[in-house]
């Protein structure tokens, strides 16, 4: 039996079928949470954004036009809008301490240096303007193309490229400056 | 023909993996990619990208995903969306209310205030007096 496509589930959702929504969430909720957390660096806020994103899907399923975009592109855009809105709220501060990931490898000098670089990069990511962090996330971590990333952020490809370039340059500078600052 | 500076700028945008560059730019960049300066530049960016991947957040656990799904269904139950049926019901209720208001207004216009006499002490007293006077005077 052929599984329902996302787009056919959306048609059922627009007719009020909650079971179809449940199926769609089973497929994509993890992706929505992770994308939001990559942008927000805050797991509680990410959970909230992902849930709100699927409430929007439920409410506006009839507006989705499968001739214009895939469901995942639409979902990316909804999550990204909500996450960027949340990131701009006063009081929101990305967390960078969640990046101290336990490593079972022996603590050789090389491992320690690498871990420190990763920790610095995590701090640098948290310090980036949210739109640059979002662009880097979409391109490098979600694996979207420039065109797909631009569509998800609702900006032109040129603007997306600019965000990517500035974000990467800022990260590189951050790691370099931090390393020099710590090295005698 | 792509120059050294354009190669570096493009690499800052699209990263160390040339297969992820747009096709046109990749074709221009490929002859340069074996140059020692380009190899060093791409290697530096590749390190940065490896660290970026290592600094990534963990995938959510199945429990967390399940809680988010349940939470979404709760939110939907608490905030039902506008449906055609619900809009029609609201419209009918609204129209019924309007019709009742209009009918009430017409009655007011034709017959004046409909307050019950018992609630108007002055009118009640005058009425009672009118009824009593002939007997007293007779």
Domain annotation covers residue B130 = yes
> Looking at the complex, does the CB of residue B72 fall below 8 Å from at least one CB of chain A?
yes
Minimal-distance CA residue of chain B relative to A141:
B53
pLDDT: which is higher, A116 or A151: A151
Q: Give me the domain span that covers residue B27.
A: 4-54
Average pLDDT over residues B42-65: 94
Residue A182 has pLDDT above 60, yes or no: no
Distance from the Cα of A63 to chain B's closest Cα (Å) equals 13
Boundaries of CATH 1.10.10.10 in chain A? 97-182
User: Phi then psi for A94, rounded to 5 degrees?
Assistant: -60, 145
Domain A6-88 belongs in CATH node 1.10.1740.10 = yes
Same domain as B8, residue B47: yes
pLDDT value at position A117? 81
Q: Name the band, by pLDDT with cuts 50, 70 and 90, for residue A163.
A: very high
Same domain as B133, residue B68: yes
Residue A183 has pLDDT above 50, yes or no: no
Q: Name the band, by pLDDT with cuts 50, 70 and 90, for residue B118.
A: very low
pLDDT value at position B25? 94
Same domain as B70, residue B36: no
Residue B104 has pLDDT above 70, yes or no: no
* Vertex A43 angle, CA A28 and A124, to 5°: 110
Boundaries of CATH 1.10.1740.10 in chain A? 6-88
pLDDT value at position A143? 93
Same domain as B68, residue B129: yes
Three-state DSSP state, B35: coil
Cβ-based neighbour number of residue A62 at 10 Å: 12
Domains contained in chain B, number: 2
Among residues 78-107 of chain B, which lie with CB inside 8 Å of chain A?
79, 81, 83
Same domain as B68, residue B131: yes
pLDDT value at position B132? 35
Q: What is the DSSP string of chain A?
A: -PPPPHHHHHHHHHTT-HHHHHHHHHHHHHHHHHHHHHHH--HHHHHHHHHHHHHHHHHHGGG--TTT--HHHHHHHHHHHHHHHHHHSTT-----GGG-----S---HHHHHHHHHHHHHHHHHHHS-HHHHHHHIIIIIS---HHHHHHHHTS-HHHHHHHHHHHHHHHHHHHHHHHHHH--
Domain A97-182 belongs in CATH node 1.10.10.10 = yes
Q: Name the band, by pLDDT with cuts 50, 70 and 90, for residue B83.
A: low
- Chain B residues closer than 8 Å to A175 by CB: 48, 51
Residue A125 has pLDDT above 60, yes or no: yes
Same domain as B128, residue B70: yes
Pick from A42-51, A79-88, B92-101: least confident = B92-101
Q: Do B13 and A99 touch (CB under 8 A)?
A: no
Is B52 within 8 Å of A136 (Cβ atoms)?
Answer: yes
Same domain as B94, residue B49: no
Cβ-based neighbour number of residue A70 at 10 Å: 15
- Chain B residues closer than 8 Å to A43 by CB: 57
ipTM surpasses 0.90: no
Q: What is the largest CA-CA distance in chain B?
A: 132
Domain annotation covers residue B59 = no
Query: Can you tell me the distance from the alpha carbon of A174 to that of A103, in angstroms, rounded to the nearest whole number?
Result: 24
Same domain as B73, residue B42: no
Is A159 within 8 Å of A127 (Cβ atoms)?
Answer: no
Average pLDDT over residues B80-108: 64
Query: Can you tell me the distance from the alpha carbon of B12 to that of B33, in angstroms, rounded to the nearest whole number?
Result: 14
- A3-19: pLDDT as tens digits: 799 999 999 999 999 99
Same domain as B71, residue B128: yes
Domain annotation covers residue B72 = yes
Q: Do A25 and B69 touch (CB under 8 A)?
A: yes
């Amino acid at each position: 039996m052929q599984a329902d496509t996302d787009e056919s589930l959306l048609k059922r959702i627009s007719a009020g079928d909650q079971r179809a929504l449940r199926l769609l969430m089973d497929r994509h909720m993890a992706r929505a949470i992770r994308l939001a957390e990559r942008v927000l660096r805050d797991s509680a806020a990410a959970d909230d954004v992902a849930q709100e994103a699927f409430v929007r899907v439920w409410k506006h399923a009839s507006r989705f036009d499968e001739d214009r975009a895939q469901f995942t592109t639409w979902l990316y855009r909804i999550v990204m809008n909500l996450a960027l809105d949340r990131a701009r709220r006063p009081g929101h501060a990305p967390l960078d301490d969640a990046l101290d990931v336990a490593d079972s490898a022996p603590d050789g000098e090389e491992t320690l240096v690498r871990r420190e670089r990763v920790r610095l990069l995590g701090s640098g990511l948290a310090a980036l303007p949210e739109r640059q962090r979002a662009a880097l996330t979409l391109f490098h971590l979600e694996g979207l193309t420039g065109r797909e990333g631009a569509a998800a952020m609702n900006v032109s490809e040129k603007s997306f490229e600019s965000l990517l370039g500035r974000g990467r340059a800022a990260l590189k500078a951050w790691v370099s400056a931090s390393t020099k600052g710590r090295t005698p | 023909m792509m120059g050294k500076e354009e190669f570096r700028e493009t690499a800052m945008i699209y990263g160390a993996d040339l297969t992820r560059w747009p096709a046109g730019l990749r074709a221009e960049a490929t002859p340069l990619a074996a140059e020692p300066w380009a190899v060093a530049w791409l290697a530096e960016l590749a390190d940065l990208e490896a660290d970026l991947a290592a600094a990534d957040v963990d995938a959510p656990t199945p429990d967390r995903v399940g809680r988010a799904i349940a939470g979404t269904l709760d939110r939907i139950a608490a905030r039902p969306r506008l449906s055609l049926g619900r809009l029609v019901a609201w419209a009918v209720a609204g129209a019924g209310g309007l019709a009742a208001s209009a009918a009430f207004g017409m009655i007011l216009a034709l017959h004046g205030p409909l307050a019950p006499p018992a609630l108007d002490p002055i009118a009640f007293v005058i009425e009672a007096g009118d009824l009593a006077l002939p007997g007293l005077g007779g």
